[in-house]
A and B are shown apart, each in its own frame.
Chain A
Amino acid sequence: MKQKTQVADIDRSLYDFRFEEDAADFLSSGITPEIIREISEEKGDPAWMLEFRLKSLEIFSRMKMPVWGPPVDGLDMRNIVTYIRSKSRMNTDWNDVPEHIKETFERLGIPQAERESLAGVGAQYDSELVYHNVRKEVAESGVVYTDLESAMHDPQYAEIIRTHFMKLVPPTDHKFAALHGAVWSGGSFVYVPAGVRLDIPLQSYFRLNAKGAGQFEHTLIILEENSDLHFIEGCSAPKYYEAGLHAGCVELYVGKGAKLRYSTIENWSKNMYNLNTKRAVVEEGGRIEWVSGSFGSHVSYLYPMSILNGRGASAEFTGITFAGEGQNLDTGAKIVHNAPETASHIDTKSISKSGGISTFRSAVTVHENAVGSRSSVSCESLMLDGRSRSDTLPVMDIRTDKCDIGHEAKIGRISDDAVFYLMSRGMDEQAARAMIVSGFAGNVSKELPLEYAVEMNNLIRLEMTGTVG
């Protein structure tokens, strides 16, 4: 097919990986089996875990970078090694936190106490209280909520971890999953016994201690039959790390008739490469609900996947992505219909502003056995100026006739009529535009607990400051 030069130019600058061969080689050689052994020894891994890490490392050095998605060539891979080796790096001083993050804290009204605790991140993050409170309340029902390392050494859970850890997201999934398998550290383990329904959400806590937790944290959640949980991932504050790479992994096992809601408001610092992998497998009659807000990071690759493995299993994904200056956020969702009468719904909004690039990317696959399945996808994009970019890239792969699949996408700008209407009721232009954008994000804020919805609206207001000009 004849390619017009103008098309080719844009494609190249925006989407090609300029990841040179030798850079990839360097990347592989940057982390050695010796370093992995060191990490493993320090963490006191069981033998199988050391083996797992070494195998993952081998896969990592073999695998190629993805050929799609935003460029990651700005990522300095030496930082990964430096970071893994030097744990004291996490002892970041509040004075070293960049101005714009401090300002965000101030304007979000994060209490002084919490800010001080961030200042002493390496020493202590003040989440113990929350954690113990929750545990006390839920422990009696048999719910386990602990860090993955402790659980791995607990004879009661060691076997569960071994049989579930990176089984859903194998290290062969992609290059950064392999990296995660090799160097993972920190994270949460949640186990909800059959029939237990938690009324209040559990919130992830970040033990940013000297063991190098955070950037490669692993979250493993197992819901037994007919249980119910709402899990909220690190919402209360922007997280700040020295190095620019986050390659976490979330694995969710939703049993028969169980329901899990997994909410995240991500607001990483804007120098972060967020290459996170999240995946859920849902058994018969079970349900996974993702609520996801992406505001931070320099580059994001984030597409939570739901594998509907049992009859009548369902998935719902509600997301918003706000790409501002210097941000290239590539987000979306993947759904695999792998059993009869499964249902999925994706509802996303994306906003691009001040040269930001936002891409909605999705994959809905309906297998031959998924007879009687339904899926609907709705994505809406808002362009706030002519310097930004917004792309929508959904794929549907349908292999049975007995299904109903729908998709709708819309793109546009804030209407002048709406701005005038709000201004005629006393709002200045900036407030009017901010209000319209907040309303646009209503799909997500309606799904969040009130305090998080408020926080999200604050984030939007913050991002909208200075739009008019």
Chain B
Amino acid sequence: MATVQLNQLPVPTFSWLGVNGTERELYNGPADEIAVSGAEKPVTRIHIAKSANISVSGSKKPQLIVMNADAEQAVIRTDVHAESSEQIRLVQIIRGGKNVLELHAELAENASLELIQIYLNPADCVSGAEIHMNGRKSAFTSNIGYALADGNALDLNLNIVQRGKKTVSDTTVRGVLRGQAKKIFRGSIDFQNGAAGASGTEQENVLLLDETVINKTVPVILCAEEDVVGSHGATIGKIDPAHIFYMQSRGIPEAQIYEILAQSQLGSIVRQIGDAETEQAVSRLLGRESADE
């Protein structure tokens, strides 16, 4: 095992905050080589229980790839290539133990990638994604949800590099932290010079349910082009007391309100999956994760 630097912030900031990146001893056991092509069937489901190098290619037709990763200790690398006018919808459901995930995507002209990541209380997960929007009018949409409890840790990095003209990116992140959960999300939109007409937006919403949680949020915008529109937003905090009161007035006990709201926090992400079987499975898991306490 070798120690490697992971999830580096594209531009470092104040060192004392400890957000510039993380390091892990990288497990280097045998890895499966998997190739998935969206052209084959409308829904492709793969189960990842150990290290894997996965290559995903696009298709001109709508299709869905669902990755269910629950390895105990693994390095999972995903390479995504969407050629001209191809589209890819990739769903990653991540559970399990000490896993390192890397996603690298290249988008050509008019290509689109829709990424859905749902983290269901992984023990210690480092997950980094780099999206290279090279082609003109390429589009990237991501919906990321996480539910983290106990003493579990999640280190997320999403770096969207908008190089092509008129590229559009849209990222929504929603999460719930409870117990002694520890999470960091670094989300960067990087408008490169020449990306005229590009737009990028990112929003993170974090619900904190216990006073022992640690949440770090680093929403970065880098911009070297005049003709762009970029925005970032983050809201972090407790449940709105008005919501609690409203539900109590309808006879729901407080403990249950927390469960309902924690599940609803990720509900809108789960509904993006668009595959009933997967959606049901995730909802079931979400319910169970919450009930574990």
Contacts and interface: CB of A to CB of B under 8 A. Distances in A.
Contact present between A and B (CB < 8 A): yes
Interface of A: 1-2, 4, 6-7, 10-11, 14-15, 66-68, 334, 361, 363, 365, 368, 371, 381, 383-386, 388-413
Interface string B4-32: 00111011111101011000000000000
Contact of B227 (A365, A386, A409): A386
Interface string B234-246: 1111100000000
A407 B219 contact: yes
A389 B223 contact: yes
Given A381-B223, A384-B226, A389-B223, A399 B213 contact: yes
B17 A397 contact: yes
Nearest to A368: B211
Contact of A398 (B6, B11, B132, B215): B215
Contacts of A388: 224, 226
Contact of B233 (A66, A389, A404, A407): A407
Nearest to B200: A411
22 contacts: A2-B102, A7-B190, A14-B11, A68-B12, A363-B14, A381-B223, A386-B226, A390-B223, A393-B218, A395-B216, A396-B215, A397-B215, A397-B216, A398-B215, A398-B236, A401-B208, A401-B211, A407-B217, A409-B232, A411-B221, A411-B229, A412-B228
B223 A409 contact: no
Nearest to B103: A1
A383 B208 contact: no
Chain A CB within 10 A, most for which of B8, B209, B211: B211
Query: Which 10 A-B pairs give the minimum distances between C-beta atoms?
Result: A401-B208, A405-B236, A68-B12, A409-B232, A407-B234, A404-B237, A411-B230, A386-B226, A392-B221, A383-B226
B230 A410 contact: yes
Contacts of B132: 4
Contact of B208 (A66, A389, A398, A406): A398
A395 B130 CA distance: 20
A322 B81 CA distance: 40
B164 to A, nearest CB: 12
Interface in B166-216: 177, 190-193, 196, 206, 208-211, 213-216
A389 B235 contact: no
Contacts of A402: 211, 238
Interface residues of B, number: 57
A366 B119 CA distance: 25
Given A68-B13, A400-B211, A2 B130 contact: yes
Secondary structure dominating the interface of A: strand
Contacts of A384: 226
Contacts of B216: 395-398
Contacts, number: 172
B236 A403 contact: yes
A71 to B, nearest CB: 13
A391 B232 contact: no
A1 B14 contact: no
A412 B102 CA distance: 31
B193 A386 contact: yes
Contacts of B157: 1
A418 to B, nearest CB: 14
Given A2-B102, A383-B228, 16 more contacts: A1-B6, A1-B128, A7-B10, A68-B12, A68-B13, A363-B14, A381-B223, A386-B193, A389-B224, A391-B221, A392-B232, A395-B216, A397-B215, A402-B238, A411-B191, A411-B231
Contacts of A334: 14
B228 A68 contact: no
Contacts of B224: 10, 386, 388-389
A101 B43 CA distance: 67
B11 to A, nearest CB: 5
Contact of A411 (B206, B214, B228): B228
A267 B112 CA distance: 46
A399 B183 CA distance: 11
A303 to B, nearest CB: 8
A395 B14 contact: yes
A353 to B, nearest CB: 10
B173 to A, nearest CB: 13
Nearest to B195: A386
A383 B238 contact: no
A1 B224 CA distance: 23
Contacts of B8: 1
A399 B182 CA distance: 9
A168 to B, nearest CB: 16
A375 B225 CA distance: 30
A67 B238 CA distance: 35
Given A389-B224, A396-B217, A11 B231 contact: no
B285 interface: no
Contact of A413 (B19, B217, B227, B238): B227
Contact of B234 (A1, A11, A396, A397): A396
B235 A406 contact: yes
A404 B11 contact: no
A392 B163 CA distance: 18
A393 B238 CA distance: 24
Interface in B141-177: 157, 161, 163, 177
Contact of B130 (A4, A66, A391, A404): A4
Contacts of B161: 4, 6-7
A409 B221 contact: yes
A73 B224 CA distance: 22
A408 B13 contact: no
A383 B130 CA distance: 25
B234 A405 contact: yes
